[in-house]
């Protein structure tokens, strides 16, 4: 089916596949396969379906919610060897790639053109297109450019039935929006093996600056005001004092050590319009007690600033041996409130929490630090993480904006959705994965049991 060289079954080689970027839960898989083609993926799925063996797709294993962790003994289907660029058609503003191609590889491949692939998750140096599709990955620039699903034109999909389905790249009114449904389904409906991706022109100019605030709340207020003023910057990214310490240690950027929060704002577009926008943004920031506003002096400085931001989570290793990252999202105006609550939760439970946020989207990543050798510390961190997500739900938000539910946020799905809502998800799941072999036990809690009364009446909530 895939050949011996594309199969791992030796226990000593399986150990490294027991988790992804989320390390709190682990399980060694019985096997790892490395298919080279869509057909091979389909045969693996078909065989697994026949034998009712769970199967989990894995890209680069940079996910933060345990999406690639083989809990329950699933075969790991690694797409790391499917990394062909199949076609570049600039006339169509489109590339056709296999799922194992790296996100950043696309942009470097197009470096001598003015095109790029817009979704830029922080792990973009390493993560794969397939993984981006599975989680509907976002990133700093989603504020203006949208998330992965907004940039996928077509997909070759292996459903849980083992059938290969090609959708797009031409859209038609005669079909459902499969791409919309599959993107973000975290491997539970099937696996993307190829994709046609939309390219975006690089902006003509950037204005990137960092604004230093005395408090995280001030920074969040500034974000809210900027959006309310009718401006959509390309990105608005927040780092608090805790994470800045790690970032400074890693990259020696020169952030002032006394800064409580830094907001990185990037405006892009046509130069003539940017001057005016920059003036407005600066004024709004000053209104929110900004201490200092510094523009990136050069393209190198801008690149370093972005490297600081995008590698911030990885740099946490400098603060702690273990961490656990949350992905809460609330309506933007509720962000200051959420930040306050996160700080309180940390204090109350004795957990050190540092924050990075895609503030413009209302999406915050509190990072909870612990020593993984101390079970009590781990327990407290996990409880704090849960409390944070409950706060997000209370504030009208959601438990994940871009990392996905995986296994880590599974317990909160019932808090966010009613049994009827979850039942809707199960209807979808059963159509594409009737045997429940595709990444089972992730994303969806076990099917809700409606009481017989409910079932009969079909009463809405």
β partners of residue 56: 76
Single out the residue of 25, 50, 113, 350 in contact with other proteins (rule: CB under 8 A): 113
Single out the residue of 13, 39, 292, 348 in contact with other proteins (rule: CB under 8 A): 13
396 binds other proteins (CB under 8 A): yes
Q: Which is nearer to other proteins, 36 or 291 (CB)?
A: 36
User: DSSP alpha helices (H): ranges in 32-141?
Assistant: 38-50, 103-109, 129-135
Tell me the site size for other proteins, rule CB under 8 A: 148
Kindly identify the residues of this chain, within the stretch 25-84, that bind other proteins according to CB under 8 A: 34, 60-62, 78, 80-81, 83
| Nearest-approach distance from CB 290 to other proteins, in angstroms | 19
Q: Rounded to an integer, what distance in angstroms lies between the CA atom of residue 375 and that of residue 403? A: 25
414 binds other proteins (CB under 8 A): no
303 binds other proteins (CB under 8 A): no
Single out the residue of 104, 343, 378, 382 in contact with other proteins (rule: CB under 8 A): 104
270 binds other proteins (CB under 8 A): yes
Single out the residue of 248, 266, 268, 327 in contact with other proteins (rule: CB under 8 A): 327
Q: How many CB atoms lie within 10 A of CB 197?
A: 26
Kindly identify the residues of this chain, within the stretch 121-180, that bind other proteins according to CB under 8 A: 123, 125-127, 135-136, 138, 142, 146-147, 149-150, 159, 163, 165-167, 169-178, 180
287 binds other proteins (CB under 8 A): no
Three-class SS state of 14: helix
Q: How many CB atoms lie within 10 A of CB 41?
A: 29
| Nearest-approach distance from CB 88 to other proteins, in angstroms | 5
In 273-377, where do the E strands start and end?
Answer: 290-295, 322-325, 328-329, 352-358, 363-370
Q: Pick the stretch among 39-47, 207-215, 227-235, 258-266 that binds other proteins (CB under 8 A).
A: 227-235
Which CA distances in Å does 69 have to 16, 78, 277, 441?
11, 12, 44, 11
420 binds other proteins (CB under 8 A): yes
| Nearest-approach distance from CB 127 to other proteins, in angstroms | 8
331 binds other proteins (CB under 8 A): yes
439 binds other proteins (CB under 8 A): no
Residues sharing a CB contact under 8 Å with residue 143, sequence separation 6 or more, in sequence order: 232, 233, 234, 235, 236, 358, 360, 361
Q: What are phi and psi of 180, to 5 degrees?
A: -60, -40
Q: How many residues does the chain have?
A: 461
The terminus-to-terminus CA distance of the chain in angstroms comes to: 49
Tell how strand 85-89 and strand 152-159 pair up: unpaired
Single out the residue of 108, 279, 286, 348 in contact with other proteins (rule: CB under 8 A): 108
Q: Which is nearer to other proteins, 347 or 390 (CB)?
A: 390
By CB neighbour count within 10 A (0-12 exposed, 13-18 middle, 19+ buried), where does 323 fall?
buried
User: Taking the CA atoms of the chain, what radius of gyration do you get in angstroms?
Assistant: 22
220 binds other proteins (CB under 8 A): no
Q: Which is nearer to other proteins, 108 or 295 (CB)?
A: 108
Q: Rounded to an integer, what distance in angstroms lies between the CA atom of residue 171 and that of residue 9? A: 41
Q: Rounded to an integer, what distance in angstroms lies between the CA atom of residue 352 and that of residue 335? A: 19
391 binds other proteins (CB under 8 A): no
Closest residue by Cα to residue 293 from 210, 219, 371? 210
271 binds other proteins (CB under 8 A): yes
Q: Which helix (H) or strand (E) holds 196?
A: strand 190-198
453 binds other proteins (CB under 8 A): no
| Nearest-approach distance from CB 383 to other proteins, in angstroms | 19
Binding pattern to other proteins, positions 177-216, x when CB under 8 A?
xx-xx-xxx---x----------xxxxx------------
| Nearest-approach distance from CB 437 to other proteins, in angstroms | 17
| Nearest-approach distance from CB 89 to other proteins, in angstroms | 4
418 binds other proteins (CB under 8 A): yes
Single out the residue of 133, 259, 264, 330 in contact with other proteins (rule: CB under 8 A): 330
Three-class SS state of 215: coil
Single out the residue of 416, 435, 437, 438 in contact with other proteins (rule: CB under 8 A): 416
| Nearest-approach distance from CB 399 to other proteins, in angstroms | 5
401 binds other proteins (CB under 8 A): yes
326 binds other proteins (CB under 8 A): no
Closest residue by Cα to residue 131 from 178, 68, 86? 68
Single out the residue of 25, 50, 276, 287 in contact with other proteins (rule: CB under 8 A): 276
20 binds other proteins (CB under 8 A): yes
Closest residue by Cα to residue 359 from 332, 395, 325? 332
Q: Rounded to an integer, what distance in angstroms lies between the CA atom of residue 185 and that of residue 229? A: 35
Q: Pick the stretch among 42-50, 211-219, 270-278, 336-344 that binds other proteins (CB under 8 A).
A: 270-278
CB 76 within 8 A of CB 26: no
- Return the structure tokens found at 178: 């499969």
């Amino acid at each position: 089916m895939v050949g011996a060289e594309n199969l791992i079954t030796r226990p000593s080689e399986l150990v490294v596949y027991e988790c992804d970027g989320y390390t709190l839960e682990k399980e060694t898989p019985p096997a790892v396969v490395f298919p080279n083609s869509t057909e091979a993926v389909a045969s693996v799925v078909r065989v697994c379906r026949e034998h009712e063996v769970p199967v989990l797709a894995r890209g680069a294993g940079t996910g933060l919610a345990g999406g690639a962790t083989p809990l329950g003994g699933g075969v790991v289907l690694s797409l790391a060897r499917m990394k062909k660029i199949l076609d570049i058609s600039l006339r169509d503003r489109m590339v056709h790639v296999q799922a194992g191609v790296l996100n950043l590889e696309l942009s470097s491949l197009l470096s001598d053109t003015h095109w790029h692939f817009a979704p830029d998750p922080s792990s973009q140096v390493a993560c794969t297109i397939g993984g981006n599709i599975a989680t509907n990955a976002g990133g700093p620039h989603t504020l203006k450019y949208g998330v992965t699903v907004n940039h996928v034109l077509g997909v070759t999909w292996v459903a849980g039935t083992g059938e290969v389905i090609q959708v797009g790249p031409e859209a038609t009114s005669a079909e459902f929006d499969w791409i919309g449904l599959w993107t973000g389904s975290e491997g539970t409906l099937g696996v993307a093996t190829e994709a046609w991706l939309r390219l975006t022109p690089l902006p003509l100019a950037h204005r990137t600056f960092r604004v230093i605030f005395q408090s995280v709340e001030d920074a969040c207020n500034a974000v809210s005001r900027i959006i309310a003023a009718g401006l959509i910057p390309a990105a608005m990214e927040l780092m608090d004092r805790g994470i800045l310490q790690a970032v400074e240690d890693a990259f020696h950027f020169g952030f002032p050590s006394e800064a409580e929060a830094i907001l990185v704002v990037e405006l892009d577009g046509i130069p003539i319009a940017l001057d005016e926008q920059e003036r407005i943004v600066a004024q709004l920031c000053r209104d929110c007690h900004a201490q200092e506003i510094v523009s990136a002096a050069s393209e190198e400085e801008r690149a370093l600033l972005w490297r600081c931001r995008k590698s911030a989570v990885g740099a946490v290793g400098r603060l702690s041996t273990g961490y656990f990252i949350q992905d809460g999202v609330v309506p933007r105006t509720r962000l200051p409130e959420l930040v306050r609550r996160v700080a309180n939760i940390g204090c109350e439970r004795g957990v050190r929490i540092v924050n990075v946020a895609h503030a413009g989207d209302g999406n915050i990543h509190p990072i909870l630090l612990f020593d993984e050798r101390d079970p009590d510390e781990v327990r407290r961190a996990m409880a704090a993480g849960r409390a944070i997500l409950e706060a997000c739900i209370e504030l009208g938000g959601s438990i994940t904006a871009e990392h996905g539910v995986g296994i880590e946020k599974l317990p909160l799905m019932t808090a966010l959705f009613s049994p009827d809502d979850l039942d809707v998800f199960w209807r979808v799941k059963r159509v594409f994965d009737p045997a429940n072999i595709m990444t089972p036990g992730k994303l969806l809690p076990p099917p809700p049991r409606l009481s017989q009364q409910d079932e009969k009446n079909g009463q809405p909530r």
